[in-house]
Amino acid sequence: MPKAKISRPQIIQASLQTLASCQSLDQFSMRKVATALHIDASTIYWYFESKQAILQAMADEIAAQISFPDASLAWQTQLTQLFSTIFDVYTTHSHAAELMIATIPSSEVRLTLMNHIIGILVSAGFSEEQGSLALSTIDFFLTGLVMDLSKERQFRTAINNKQAAYLHDQVTQIHQITHDEHLIHMQNSVNNRNSQSAKQQFEAGLKLILKGLLAEKNVDLN
Amino acid sequence: MPKAKISRPQIIQASLQTLASCQSLDQFSMRKVATALHIDASTIYWYFESKQAILQAMADEIAAQISFPDASLAWQTQLTQLFSTIFDVYTTHSHAAELMIATIPSSEVRLTLMNHIIGILVSAGFSEEQGSLALSTIDFFLTGLVMDLSKERQFRTAINNKQAAYLHDQVTQIHQITHDEHLIHMQNSVNNRNSQSAKQQFEAGLKLILKGLLAEKNVDLN
DNA sequence: ACCTGAACACCGTTCAAGT
DNA sequence: ACCTGAACACCGTTCAAGT
């Protein structure tokens, strides 16, 4: 074989597929991507300076799929719609949340997205401070929730895998302890978690934060 | 040398010290802990079944340092005090937030802590659902914020380390792009970030969520 | 009961050498 | 300009063997 005609976008694409077939972000490796592309691992280093650079590119690729809502809508509606899209994008690509956390929002796509979200709030009359605070609050809440989801998925497939078996044990321990120690609120929390879909949970949390914002706004008007 | 007289607590202690001297959680390794204890890496496996088990134990050790506030105080005061303590504990141990995220809250310490927080809210008249939602919202917000902090610390020490140098470049890129693309809200966000201490930022975010809770409560009373 | 050494199956990254 | 092979310095984990 003479040349493998590799390109940056091709590597990113293969990386996303490879990640999807991994059980967690730290199982993702350069060597696996290289194998998928039928090239040597060292070849990747001609296109990307490091593994971190690939992670950044993957995160950007995912972030690029997030579309902005109609700017003429009410700010609450805009935020609800936008974060609903982000939730869907994050849950479509497995480990997307881990990727976002492992990575710095230094690209135009991600910075523009963040800028847009703060912009919605500033246009609605909030201060820049309130806007960026609300953004990070919602974003971290969403990221944390989606990460927990993917951890749950991980131990549900705890059949042959040893690491997953350990996680599975930890979860049964949660039930054990909450029961033995009569941690009734935790028991309710687990039950509540199972009765509600993840998206419903996210929407409820988002609503809570939006209510807090609204309360701040009303105070300002006085 | 005959015996090295090792114990579980000793390993946990050495692990926390080793982690503190690492620039990130994934630089933390069994072999480094073993070297610190002057034992072979394989010895650790007599006391802990896996690296994950050590991470869990480390997280529990840190979580155990969190003390509960006086239960007779108002719920807002209790939450503010408690999360202030958590913030301090998280920032005292470097990479504590990463540890909490990489780990499952399956121990008695952590479950009791979570149960207590929901309990504060339920005692204040909130539903179990609202309580557990508020807990995860605040917790994820706090964790995300502290993690960003430690990433910043990481690239500030970007002298000889190559990985840190890359992160440093990413940050200058943030300034570059926000300037070139006229992302004014992001510019303000960065400035705001620098003018406020991390703890002030957290307190502002917590206040926002508490306001949202209060608004929900008032609606319920109608 | 406790600890080691060697080994296995992996990593990210570099770099001289090839085409 | 693009790609490889071998090497370096690491990983987590296992397990026969030692005391």
Query: Which pLDDT value is given to residue B219?
Result: 65
Segment A194-207, tens digit of pLDDT: 899 999 999 999 99
Q: Is domain B8-49 in CATH 2.40.37.10, yes or no? A: no
CATH 3.30.70.1050 fits B75-221, yes or no: no
CATH 1.10.357.10 spans which residues of chain A? 75-221
How far away is chain A from the Cα of B17, in angstroms, using its nearest Cα?
A: 23
Q: Which residues are CB-contacts of A31 (< 8 A; sequence separation ≥ 6)?
A: A41
Q: B165 touching A, CB under 8 A?
A: no
Residue B171 has pLDDT above 80, yes or no: yes
Give the total residue count for chain A.
Answer: 222
Quote the minimal CA–CA distance from B38 to chain A in Å.
27
Distance CA B130, CA A208 (A): 9
Q: Which of A140, A177, A189 sits opposite B118 (nearest CB)?
A: A189
* Tens-place pLDDT, residues B9-47: 999 999 999 999 999 999 999 999 999 999 999 999 999
* pLDDT over threshold 60, residue A1: no
| Count of Cβ atoms closer than 10 Å to residue A124 Cβ | 17
Residues A170, B50: C-beta atoms closer than 8 Å: no
Evaluate if the CB of B163 falls below 7 Å from strand D. no
Tell me, what DSSP letter sits at residue A118? H
Check B178 against A105: CB less than 8 A apart: no
How far out from the chain centre does Cα B6 lie?
29
Residues of chain B contacting A145 with CB distance shorter than 8 Å: 136, 140
Predicted confidence at residue B222, as pLDDT, reads 44
HEC letters along B153-180: HHHHCCCCCHHHHHHHHHHHHHHHHHHH
Confidence check: pLDDT of A2 > 50? no
B19 and chain A in contact, CB less than 8 A: no
Averaged pLDDT, A106-121:
98
pLDDT on residue B2:
40
What's the rounded mean pLDDT across residues B105-125? 97
The ranges of chain B annotated as CATH 1.10.10.60 are: 8-49
Nearest Cβ partner for A170 among B104, B108, B130: B104
Separation of alpha carbons B100 and A171, rounded Å: 15
Could you identify the residue written with the tokens 């690492």?
B22
Q: Which of A67, A132, A102 is nearest to B166 (CA)?
A: A102
Determine which helix (DSSP H) or strand (DSSP E) holds B208, and give its type and residue range: helix B198-221
DSSP-derived 3-state class of residue A125: coil
The number of C-beta contacts closer than 8 angstroms across A and B is 197
Given CA atoms B174, B179, B182, B183 in this order, what sign does their dihedral have?
positive
> Which residue on chain A is closest to B49 by alpha carbon?
A166
Q: For A26, which residue in chain B has the nearest alpha carbon?
A: B26
Answer whether A115's CB lies under 8 Å from B176's CB: no
Does A3 have pLDDT greater than 80? no
Quick one: which of B18, B92, B101, B87 has its CA closest to B59?
B101
